[in-house]
Structure 1
Amino acid sequence: MTLDIITSPDLDGTTHGFFTRRGGASSGVFAGLNCGYGSSDQHDIVSINRARVAEAMHVAPDHLVGVHQIHSADAVIADGPQDQHPKADAIVTATKGVALSILTADCQPVLFADTKAGVIGAAHAGWKGALNGVLERTVQQMEALGAKAANISAVIGPCISQPAYEVGPDFMEQFIAVDPIYNRFFVAGNDDRYHFDLPGFGLMKLRECGISRASWTHHCTYADPARFYSYRRTVHKKEADYGRLIAAITI
């Protein structure tokens, strides 16, 4: 099956894509393009899926690089293939021929590019990373390589949308404790529940970094099981595990 790749005109000048689950070799609950070695899927099958992504990105499989994601605010610089994945949640480079990748299954995959400076980045921004500064740190690391925030374009890919993201009052209080204005990203749900606007929060954070071209693809991972894996949907369906989507960018 042909790979299904979502792209954005905001990242023109790069080879990039938010890959859906279509076109992969995995089966069962992972059916499709599961790219997460951290899942219980067969390692060899995940390698096949990742090789298909690398081919689509026009790089060798070992030049599709990433990080060991831990929901942190840490961003690292890559200049080539890695022997090990550093623990972080964002990665940047100015090296041509290297494809940066991020895995998600409801969290925000964010791809960055300053094509004038030849600097790109990729971030995994769940609620914790976004609140603690992973997007700001990604921009800082890109600037360390010569990028300028005003020249950076950033695109948030498929992630969980506000209607599907139900949270409790303790969750909301963590945001309001940082800044009371963050209450605008919550709407009341049933009983004491709220619904959190993760991509809306991410867009605000990107614009606060000085990025004028920031957008979201408007795809909800939870709402479209045919195209996307979703951690929260898996929990609600009481499935044993879930696949990981990949987003990648290269110059």
Structure 2
Amino acid sequence: MTLEIITSDALTPFRHGFFTRKGGASSGVFDGLNCGSGSTDQAEIVAINRARVAEAMDVNALASVHQVHSPDVITVTETAQPNDKPKADALVTATPGVALSILTADCQPVLFADAEAEVIGAAHAGWKGAMGGVLETTIDAMIALGATRENISAVIGPSISQRAYEVGPEFLDSFLSEDPENSRFFADGQGDKAQFDLPSYGLHKLRNAGVNAEWTRHCTYSDPDRFFSYRRATHAGDADYGRLISVIRI
């Protein structure tokens, strides 16, 4: 099966893609293109999947980080991936031949591009990272490499949608404590639960930071044939779950 790659005109002319689970070598709960080396999938199979992605991006290696839901950003200057992945949740580069990659399974994968300055970025933005400022720090790191705020385009890839993201009252309270106007990102749920709109929150943060932003409008939870989902796997009682990969390169 061939790889399925979701792209956006907003990121042209850079080669990029939000990869679905299709076209991979994994099986079982990881069936498809599981690119998560931190999963319990067979390491050699994950390596095959990542190699297929690298080939699709026409590179030998994918720059990646050990994601920890932080606002931390790494500036990548070498095409080779270091043996030890630094702990961070975003990467930026202005180096030709570098492919930046992010793993997600409901959280927002966000790809950034300034075509004029030839600077790119990639961020893993779950609710904690987005609230903590990972989107803004990625933009700042791109600007440090020569990008300009008004020329940066950001695209949020497949993420969990509001109808699938039920949260408790403590979660809602944390967002209202940050800003009472965050209530706009929540809808009433069952009982004391609420439904959180993560992509709308991400779009708000990006646009508030002064960049052009859009969402591909794909829900990871609601489309099991195409996407892995941490929350769906949890609800199903699965022992683990696959990770989707999103990549952009100069």
- 2:28 and 2:119 mapped to 1: Cα distance? 38
C-alpha displacement of 1:76: 1.0
- 1:15 and 1:156 mapped to 2: Cα distance? 16
C-alpha displacement of 1:244: 0.2
**SS of alignment partner, residue 91 of structure 2:** strand
Q: Deviations over 1:156-205 (max 9, x none)?
A: 00000000000001001111111100011000011000000000000000
C-alpha displacement of 1:85: 1.1
What corresponds to 1:73 in structure 2?
A: 71
What corresponds to 1:206 in structure 2?
A: 206
Structure 1 residue identity aligned to 2:241: Y
- 1:75 and 1:54 mapped to 2: Cα distance? 22
- 1:11 has 2:14 as partner: no
- 1:242 and 1:92 mapped to 2: Cα distance? 27
Structure 2 residue identity aligned to 1:228: F
What corresponds to 2:90 in structure 1?
A: 90
Structure 2 residue identity aligned to 1:117: A
- 1:172 and 1:110 mapped to 2: Cα distance? 23
What corresponds to 2:101 in structure 1?
A: 101
What corresponds to 2:195 in structure 1?
A: 195
What corresponds to 1:42 in structure 2?
A: 42
**SS of alignment partner, residue 205 of structure 1:** helix
- 1:160 and 1:234 mapped to 2: Cα distance? 13
How many residues were matched structurally?
248
- 1:210 and 1:71 mapped to 2: Cα distance? 23
C-alpha displacement of 1:82: 2.6
- 1:226 and 1:204 mapped to 2: Cα distance? 29
What corresponds to 2:217 in structure 1?
A: 218
**SS of alignment partner, residue 228 of structure 1:** coil
- 2:221 and 2:149 mapped to 1: Cα distance? 31
Unaligned runs of 5+ in 2: none
What corresponds to 1:175 in structure 2?
A: 175
- 2:206 and 2:64 mapped to 1: Cα distance? 21
Structure 1 residue identity aligned to 2:65: V
Instruction: Give the RMSD, CA atoms, in angstroms.
Output: 0.5
- 2:65 and 2:39 mapped to 1: Cα distance? 15
TM-score (norm 2): 0.98
Moved over 6 A (4+): none
**SS of alignment partner, residue 242 of structure 2:** coil
Q: Percent identity?
A: 66
Structure 1 residue identity aligned to 2:217: H
TM-score (norm 1): 0.98
